[in-house]
Amino acid sequence: MSRVSSRWLKRGLSFCVSGWGFLALSLAGLSSTTGCSNPAYCFTDCPGDTTTSSGTQGTGGNGEGGCLFGCGDGGNGADGQGGNGAGNCIPDDPPNEVCDLRDNDCNGLVDDIPGIDYESLTSCGTCSKNCLQELLNNDLGTIQCIPSQNPGTTPGQCVGSCAADYHDLDGNGSCEYYCLGGSQPESICNNIDDDCDGLVDEEVNYCDSVTDCGACGYACNVLHGTPTCVNNGASPCTLLNTHCAIDACDCTGPGNCWHDLDGVYATGCEYQCFPTGPELCGDGIDNDCDGLLDGADDLSQDPAIGVACQGGVEGVCADPAHAGVTACVNGLVACIGPDVIVPNQLQESCNNLDDNCDGVIDNNPVDVGGACGVSNIFPCSLGTFQCVNGAPSCIGAVPPGLEICNGIDDDCDGMIDFTVATNSPPSDVGNPCGVYPPPPQGATSPCSAGATACIGGLIACQGAVGPLASSDTCGIDANCDGTLTNQPNLNTDVANCGACGNNCYAGAVHSIQACVNGVCQSQGCQPGYWDLDGDGLCEYACTFTQAQEVCNGVDDNCNGQIDEGVIAPSPVQVCGVSPSATRPECTSGVTVTCNNGAWQCAFPPGVCTGGNCAATPEVCDTLDNNCNGVVNENFPNWGKPCNSDDGIQPGHGACRTTGTYACTSPTTVACNAVKADCATLPGGCTELCDGIDNDCDGLVDETFNNRGQNATYFVRPAVTRIGANSWIHSYEASRPSATSTDSGHGNGYWTQAIAGATRDATPACSVPGRLPWFNVSPDEVQQTCTAMGGTICSLADWQTACRATVNCAYGYAPRNSGAATTCTTPAVAGTKYCNLGSTYDFDPVTPGIQDGLLPGASSALQSCWADWSGLQGNTPASERIFDITGNLWEITVKPGGAFGLMGGAFSTQNQEAAGCDFTFYTVEQGFKFYDAGFRCCFSSNPTQ
């Protein structure tokens, strides 16, 4: 069982209706009454109706006309007497005078009842003046009748004092207002009339309270800041004109200084930044903390911006005609302007100017170097255009000459020392040459005769071999003189050890050799040389320095390896890495190697490009690109939380996911949260009446008449079929935001709202376990039911649902069967009872019967539903219409368009008023009360 609040008000209304007599009813939520001045409670024949007597004497005076609270003034007759009607008086049979405003015995006097006591409490001044009926909820011991000066004609005055916990708010003597307490202050927001003045929480400060801003419980909280409650000047202060706002953002120093850049209260002071002064270009810092960086911000206070400048200091770049001004370009100060020329923008030309601004005039001009002259066959040659005194000139051209044997194509015909035209070589070649005597027996001679030829541009002896030396060598007549002299000792000569030509130093490189008995023997290495492979050749030249290698490109220990085993320093020592950089790409991911005698640093791709950390720009890639200890410092949103539907209308509903801002390119970030598939959610894509877009199609709580893009899923309200083309909500209507303890929020205006109200377009749900929607007007009911493809229930449909085809008098189950009278008789304690003021105690702990609103289909009630089992094809899931008796009065539309209240409420004291056939109450379109709600009806099945 759930409470709407700790105490609900019980209000009793007494009224006199012609033909009805006295009937005690209650409608919870009426804060004060002034007779029938409130048109929301007029019933049949009102306002201003008159009633005439059955006689023909004239028009009766002050007829009630069936109007609750005296909605009319009555007829034109004088009080207590008829007019001068035209007909004869016909006495009653028997002619006994009774209190009915008629002359029953035709004696000319009206209501002159014999022996009547006009000082009695039941006939005070006149027979119809009943103080016990008039002074509702007065202490019986205090009621008195003060007779009139004209008894029998003029009513007397009924006076008395209110009973305990009853109050007379309108001063008419009737204690219509029930309220416990009366001495508590109203400054506490608890939805209770603490001082019993008919107003709830009227002294609560909704205008600037940060705990109850605009309404109870609406607390203001600001992330990294101080909240305030702001009213737009309208009163009273409500959620429509009062809202939470940011009063100030926290700023206690670097690391804890926050700013509200987006102006949105919900995000609070979302931007962390400590101001350091005006915005400057090139430092990558938001100096003035306005969310804009360097070139994106106002740089009017930057002294380096807007200054006259040149594109360079040399050549045409420094010409005043090419001056510009400084500006912030890509986060750096640059000289820009339509006439600005920067180095290497122009190619160098032969014009006596320094076009490429390198400080040298006409160096490597692009308009010279082309060929000029007659032929390019050597010794002829084409010249080249060269830059001379600022103009191109042909330099170095050579013309053809006479062909001679000199290794030159003198006639430039493409053949050297040969005439193409005669196909012949020079005439001074082909003669014998280089003839020597033969060697002695057993010896060899290197010499042989040849013939003259033109070789390489010279006349030479071709094919002749001359002496190899001036003296003979071992077994060779090297001087070609025909004799063999100067022969070595083959046992000791290292050049001819054991045989001619066997040189012990051949291939020995830098070893020391000796010939011993005709055999070569190694005697060690020469100084500065080493025998690395042990073959005795001493092939490795090296100067020993030390045993430990250092990175210097030298073999310090002469082991044949250079810079091996060196101890590498850290990236901070030799690579330009900041000591605060601790990420792998700047520490363990950096390879420090010794290459060509110097330390070299190899970084992962994108980090410290070219080995220069300081000059490497920081890009968005989750790496500390410049190894300064900060990742993506140029992208302040990187890594911050976000939603998949940020900035998207409509949002993703239940499919909203959360993520963080991640890099999408080297220069941009975006939210990595992706809209979920509703099929993967715990509840699937089923659309529920809960204020959430469950199927994620952009519509919230869509109904069968407006299914949206995902037409398979829409809200299927619980309905009961009561006719061939009639369905009704199985539960009293509730809001999507309602719970078992809260009736939710939002009005029912869809198409047109009353003055001062918004169009909240709140759907109506038909579900159990929620507090139903009360304090709703017939106008809202009409718009709400129409919006979901239905209508406000007609009186006929509502009574059909209540009667359950067997003329049930109440919404009790089961339907009558045989002699049983379950649904035709009032409540029975412990057996069947609904939430009516006289049959259900909302709070058994408090003495007396307490009244209060229950959630739909509450388990605290017994058999409280209209039974449609086995009828109209209803299933066990749809055969019960809960709370059609009690809980809330239900707004219906009567024939002719008037609105009626049916079924009773938690505050109803008379069970008969909650019956299926009790149609007495008629209300206006703007009527609202805390004990009145509704349910919708349909001409087609809203679940299909």
Q: Please give the Cα distance from 498 to 519 (Å, whole number).
A: 6
Percent of the chain at pLDDT exceeding 90: 49
Greatest distance between any 2 Cα atoms in the chain? 198
In single-letter form, the type of residue at position 345 comes to Q
Q: Please give the Cα distance from 453 to 2 (Å, whole number).
A: 129
- Of the two residues 539 and 858, the one the predictor is more confident about is 858
Q: Which of 599, 542, 596, 605 is nearest to 567 (CA)?
A: 599
Tokens, residue 793: 């229930």
- Average pLDDT of 131-139? 90
Sign of the CA dihedral running 396, 400, 402, 408: positive
Residue with tokens 């057993």: 442
Q: 237-246 long-range contacts, Cβ below 8 Å, gap at least 24? A: 237/206, 237/207, 238/206, 238/214, 239/214, 239/215, 240/214, 240/757, 240/758, 241/214, 242/206, 242/207, 242/213, 242/214, 243/213, 243/214, 244/210, 244/213, 244/218, 244/220, 245/220, 246/222
**295 phi and psi angles, rounded to 5 deg:** -65, -20
pLDDT of residue 429: 78
Second CATH level (architecture) for the domain 1-6+721-944: Alpha-Beta Complex (3.90)
pLDDT value at 699 more than 70? yes
pLDDT of residue 42: 35
pLDDT digits (tens, 9 = 90+) for 380-412: 888 888 899 888 888 888 888 888 888 888 888
Q: Please give the Cα distance from 245 to 229 (Å, whole number).
A: 6
- Average pLDDT of 673-693? 93
Q: Taking a C-beta distance cutoff of 8 angstroms, is the pair 685, 713 a contact? A: yes
Q: Taking a C-beta distance cutoff of 8 angstroms, is the pair 510, 525 a contact? A: yes
pLDDT category of residue 182 using cuts at 50, 70 and 90: low
pLDDT of residue 444: 87
pLDDT of residue 193: 77
- Average pLDDT of 864-869? 96
- Average pLDDT of 838-846? 92
pLDDT of residue 371: 87
- Average pLDDT of 137-166? 90
Q: What is the number of alpha carbons within 13 Å of residue 843 lying toward its C-beta?
A: 16
Q: Which of 830, 801, 833, 752 is nearest to 902 (CA)?
A: 801
Tokens, residue 892: 């219906």
Question: E strands within 768-809?
Answer: 791-792
- Average pLDDT of 252-265? 91
pLDDT category of residue 81 using cuts at 50, 70 and 90: very low
Q: Spell out the domain ranges in the chain.
A: 1-6+721-944, 205-276, 641-680
pLDDT category of residue 181 using cuts at 50, 70 and 90: low
Q: Please give the Cα distance from 29 to 851 (Å, whole number).
A: 12
In single-letter form, the type of residue at position 592 comes to V
- Average pLDDT of 256-285? 91
User: Could you write out the DSSP letters of every residue in 453-498?
Assistant: EEETTEEEEES-B--S-SS-BTTB-TT-SS-------TTT-TTSSS
pLDDT value at 820 more than 70? no
pLDDT of residue 817: 58
Q: Taking a C-beta distance cutoff of 8 angstroms, is the pair 869, 879 a contact? A: yes
Question: E strands within 834-935?
Answer: 865-867, 880-882, 889-893, 899-902, 922-923, 932-933
pLDDT of residue 623: 92
pLDDT value at 56 more than 60? no
pLDDT digits (tens, 9 = 90+) for 199-243: 887 778 889 889 889 888 889 999 999 999 999 999 899 999 999
pLDDT category of residue 10 using cuts at 50, 70 and 90: very low
pLDDT value at 63 more than 70? no
Q: Please give the Cα distance from 936 to 73 (Å, whole number).
A: 37
| Average predicted confidence (pLDDT) for the chain | 85
Residue with tokens 């309200």: 717
- Average pLDDT of 894-903? 96
Question: E strands within 470-627?
Answer: 511-516, 519-525, 529-530, 540-541, 591-595, 598-602
Residue with tokens 């006639």: 411
Q: Please give the Cα distance from 42 to 36 (Å, whole number).
A: 7
| pTM above threshold 0.75 | no
pLDDT of residue 818: 52
CA angle 651, 652, 657 (to 5 degrees): 120
Alpha carbon distances (Å) from 600 to 577, 593, 919: 13, 5, 98
pLDDT value at 17 more than 60? no
User: b vs e for 174-207, b when ≥16 Cβ sit within 10 Å of the residue's Cβ?
Assistant: bbbbbbbeeeeebeebbebbbbbbbebbeebebb
In single-letter form, the type of residue at position 487 comes to Q
pLDDT value at 3 more than 80? no
pLDDT category of residue 108 using cuts at 50, 70 and 90: confident
pLDDT category of residue 705 using cuts at 50, 70 and 90: very high
Q: Taking a C-beta distance cutoff of 8 angstroms, is the pair 152, 112 a contact? A: yes
pLDDT digits (tens, 9 = 90+) for 307-332: 989 988 898 998 899 999 998 988 88
pLDDT value at 347 more than 80? yes
Q: 527-536 long-range contacts, Cβ below 8 Å, gap at least 24? A: 530/558, 530/560, 532/559, 532/560, 536/508, 536/511
Alpha carbon distances (Å) from 822 to 116, 551, 806: 45, 106, 11
Q: Please give the Cα distance from 82 to 78 (Å, whole number).
A: 7
Q: 531-538 long-range contacts, Cβ below 8 Å, gap at least 24? A: 532/559, 532/560, 536/508, 536/511, 537/507, 537/508, 537/509, 537/510, 537/511, 538/508, 538/509, 538/510, 538/511
pLDDT category of residue 29 using cuts at 50, 70 and 90: very low
pLDDT of residue 21: 28
Strands 658-665 and 641-643: antiparallel
- Of the two residues 66 and 274, the one the predictor is more confident about is 274
